[in-house]
């Protein structure tokens, strides 16, 4: 863009508004039969791409903070702030879909055939976003160079995709950060997990006693509830056994390493300790991002079902059925969601040694 140095910078020239407003090119207009709602369709998707760019900008900056072997504590607040921004953008993206739903199925049919075989599946930025977060795919997108997706990419887009898929994901970076979390063991012999197991056994024992001693509970219901307690105990065993945990990882039930899981649980249990405030907020934001992404996917699937029923998508996919099937498969931080399974009431938590509480707090000592 050339700049006329004789004119002061204006709103339009700074934002390049004329160029921005000139890049909507409805195919129905080119075909000589303008479909009124195609402009809305284009603008909503272009707005998505702009917001994807901003999200990737934020996630890239956070990834750089966590890429080193130690994270500067002063950067934790910045990371929390930027991930908060990502979650707010995600809410806007879902609202965009609701705006698009003001277009009726008949309105969409007026131009649908003209945009085929283009498809939202081909959004390179969204695929990079998935890779950046750490979405696991059964079949890597670039494994087959002859696939419709791979063949739709330019050389530059292929380079961007390869870079995203070969770089450490946020899942991997946060897992390594959690594995480095101290505090779980101290030099004076206090081992948190032994104390936690004892508290857990006592908690489950109270559950069992309550069921057994309940005067109004029929024998059949007692047996069922005791069976549930037994299932809970079995599920908890993997939390203390590396071999059992690895078996669950291989089965796809869990993904985080056992040490990272321990650290995340410790942060959740003792979130009120001053030094754990920001780590807890960070973990909460990872869950928020995952949840909002699932909400966006669900809203998108519902919209597609409403627009085309059970027809195939413009890119040849199974449309609504494909989108619904991706929901559970694309959750990245499911292990953080599952931490609620392992929480205990505050009154049942092990008391931390005083020297550990000091390390978890902000201790001020006046220098003589």
The CATH code for residues 33-360 is: 1.20.58.480
Q: What angle do CA 161, 162, 167 make, to 5 degrees?
A: 100
Contact between 142 and 150 under an 8 Å Cβ cutoff? The reply is: yes
Domain boundaries defined on the chain: 33-360
User: Which range, of 181-195, 233-247, 286-300, averages the lowest pLDDT?
Assistant: 181-195
Give the per-residue pLDDT at 300. 87
- 240-249, 323-332, 356-365: the lowest-pLDDT one: 356-365
If pLDDT is split at 50, 70 and 90, which confidence band does 363 have?
Answer: low
pLDDT number for residue 353: 79
Nearest residue to 240 via CA among 198, 296, 282: 198
Q: Which two tokens stand for residue 53?
A: 């760019």
- The pair of three-digit structure tokens given for residue 243, joined into one six-digit string: 């071999």
pLDDT digits (tens, 9 = 90+) for 170-218: 999 999 999 988 766 655 666 778 888 888 888 888 888 889 888 888 8
Comparing 368 with 101, which gets the higher pLDDT? Answer: 101
pLDDT value, residue 4: 61
Which tokens hold the place of 150?
Answer: 């791979």
> Which residues neighbour 232 within 8 Å (Cβ) at sequence distance 6 or greater?
204
Which of 322, 335, 182 shows the shortest CA–CA distance to 245?
Answer: 335
Give the span between the Cα atoms of 101 and 136, in whole angstroms. Answer: 30
pTM for this structure? 0.86
Residue 334: pLDDT above 90?
A: yes
């Amino acid at each position: 863009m050339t700049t006329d140095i004789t004119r002061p910078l204006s709103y339009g020239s700074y934002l390049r508004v004329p160029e921005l407003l000139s890049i909507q090119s409805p195919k129905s207009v080119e075909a000589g039969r303008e479909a009124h709602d195609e402009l809305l369709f284009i603008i909503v998707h272009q707005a998505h791409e702009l917001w994807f760019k901003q999200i990737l900008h934020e996630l890239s900056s956070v990834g750089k903070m966590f890429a080193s072997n130690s994270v500067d504590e002063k950067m934790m607040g910045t990371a929390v702030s930027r991930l908060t921004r990502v979650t707010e953008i995600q809410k806007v993206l879902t609202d965009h879909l609701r705006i698009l739903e003001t277009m009726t199925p008949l309105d969409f049919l007026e131009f649908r055939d003209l945009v085929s075989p283009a498809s939202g599946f081909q959004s390179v930025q969204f695929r990079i976003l998935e890779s950046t977060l750490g979405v696991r795919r059964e079949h890597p997108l670039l494994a087959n160079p002859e696939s419709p997706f791979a063949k739709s990419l330019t050389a530059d887009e292929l380079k961007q995709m390869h870079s995203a898929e070969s770089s450490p994901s946020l899942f991997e970076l946060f897992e390594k950060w959690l594995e480095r979390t101290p505090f779980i063991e101290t030099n004076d012999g206090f081992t948190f997990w032994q104390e936690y197991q004892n508290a857990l056994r006592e908690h489950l024992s109270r559950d069992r006693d309550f069921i057994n001693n309940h005067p109004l509970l029929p024998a059949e219901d007692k047996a069922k509830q005791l069976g549930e307690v037994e299932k809970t105990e079995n599920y908890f065993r993997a939390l203390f056994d590396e071999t059992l945990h690895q078996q669950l990882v291989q089965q796809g039930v869990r993904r985080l390493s056992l040490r990272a899981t321990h650290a995340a649980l410790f942060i959740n249990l003792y979130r009120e300790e001053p030094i754990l405030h920001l780590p807890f907020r960070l973990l909460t934001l990872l869950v928020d991002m995952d949840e909002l992404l699932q909400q966006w996917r669900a809203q998108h699937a519902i919209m597609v079902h409403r627009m085309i029923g059970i027809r195939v998508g413009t890119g040849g996919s199974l449309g609504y059925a494909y989108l619904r099937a991706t929901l559970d498969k694309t959750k990245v931080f499911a292990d953080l969601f599952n931490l609620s399974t392992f929480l205990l009431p505050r009154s049942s938590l092990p008391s931390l040694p005083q020297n550990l509480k000091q390390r978890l707090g902000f201790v001020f000592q006046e220098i003589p």
